[in-house]
Amino acid sequence: MRLDKVIMLAAHTARSQAYLQTLVARDLLPGAVILLAPPEKASAPRASTRLSLPDLVAPDLGESVPATCARAGIPVIHVDTPDVNSAQVVQAIASCQADTVIYSGYGGQIVADHVLASGPVFLHMHSGWLPDYRGSTTLYYALLNGDPPAVSALLLDKHIDTGPVVARRQYPVPPAHIDVDSVYDAAIRADLLARVLQEYAASGQFQGEPQQAAAGTAPYYVIHPVLKHLALLSLASKGAEDG
Domain map (residue ranges) of the chain = 2-242
CA–CA separation, 144 vs 158, rounded Å? 29
| 91 backbone dihedrals φ, ψ, rounded to 5° | -65, -40
Task: Give the number of C-alpha atoms closer than 13 A to the C-alpha of residue 196, restricted to the C-beta side.
Answer: 28
Q: Which amino acid is at 75?
A: P
CA–CA separation, 212 vs 164, rounded Å? 10
Q: pLDDT tens, position by position, for the chain (243 residues)? A: 999 999 999 999 999 999 999 999 999 999 999 999 998 776 655 665 667 777 898 899 999 999 999 999 999 999 999 999 999 999 999 999 999 999 999 988 999 999 999 999 999 999 999 999 988 888 998 999 999 999 999 999 988 888 999 999 999 998 887 889 889 999 999 999 999 999 999 998 898 898 876 655 556 677 777 777 777 777 766 554 554
* Model pTM score: 0.90
What is the DSSP code string of 74-125? --EEE-S-S-TTSHHHHHHHHHHT-SEEEE---TT----HHHHTTSSEEEEE
CATH code for 2-242?
3.40.50.12230
CA–CA separation, 243 vs 225, rounded Å? 27
